[in-house]
Amino acid sequence: MKITDIIKKETIIPDLAARDKKGVLDELVAPVGEITGISSDELVRVLLERERLGSTGIGGGVGIPHGKIKGLDNLVLGFGLSKGGVDFDSMDGKPTRIFFLLITPENSTVLHLNLLARISRLLKDDSFRQSLLNSSSAEEIFEVIKEADTDF
């Protein structure tokens, strides 16, 4: 399963306006809520509940907020870039600029973990991260992901 099989250009936000964790989550879930029919409030509630277990700001300017939703039929993936960076309680204490949002059905642990691992592997590549940061549109971001998201 490739990231580009799941992510839709409509869920890619090339310039997040938010300046704090809650604001970023609100922004990231808005298009996902429209696609899934699940309220943004419910999506944010689940994500914040997960954040209480430990920050999904993994360091290196990257955050992967994720959660499982009861009644969801398919995996949903979103993406956002913060040009200035946001305090996301990252493990390294540095601002977070690249966000992948993962929402999965409640009983899809294996798919959830596989997609998290795939995203994490891609994000370890400095040139991939830099290409994302240099992108200015949803189309550019999608193409950067598509180029990097080869089978490995």
- The set of catalytic residues is 66
List the one residue out of 30, 45, 61 whose CA is nearest residue 126.
Answer: 61
Structure tokens at 21: 């964790």
Contact of 77 with 115, CB cutoff 8 Å: yes
Tokens of 61: 């300017």
**Token output for 143:** 């193409």
Closest CA to 13 of 29, 1, 2: 29
Q: Which residues pair with 99 in a beta bridge?
A: 63, 80
